[in-house]
Amino acid sequence: MHGRARCCAGVLTAALLGTLLLGAAAPAFAQPPQPGAGAAQDAFVPVKDLPQQEQLPGGPLVLTAYAFVWAVLLVYVWTIWRRLGKVEREMRELARRLDEQPRS
C-alpha cells in the first residue's frame, strides 16, 4: 500500500472507530430514572408541560449529526478526488511512454 492510501485508510478507520465508540457510549449518557417515579405515569403529559430537566433538546443533536455526516462525505469525496488525480497522472505517464517507444 502506498503512503497516501495507508493514510486515507487510517483516517477512515479512525472515523469508523470513533463512530462506533460514540454509538456504544450513547446509553451512558441516558438520563437515569427520576427518584420516586412509578413504572408508568397516570396520564399523557405534553412535552411543553414537562419540567426543563426532563426535556432533551433535539436541535443540537440533529445539527451535530448532520455536521458529522457532511464531514465524512467531504473526506470521502476528497479521497476519491486524490485517487482520481493519481490515476490521471499515471495514464498521462503511460501515454507518454507509449509515444516514446519505437514502432515496429
What is the DSSP secondary-structure string of 22-83? HHHHGGGGSPPPPTT--SS-SS---GGGS-GGG----HHHHHHHHHHHHHHHHHHHHHHHHH
Residue-level pLDDT at 40? 57
**Residue 54: pLDDT over 60:** no
Give this prediction's pTM: 0.45
How is the chain split into domains, by residue range?
Answer: 59-104
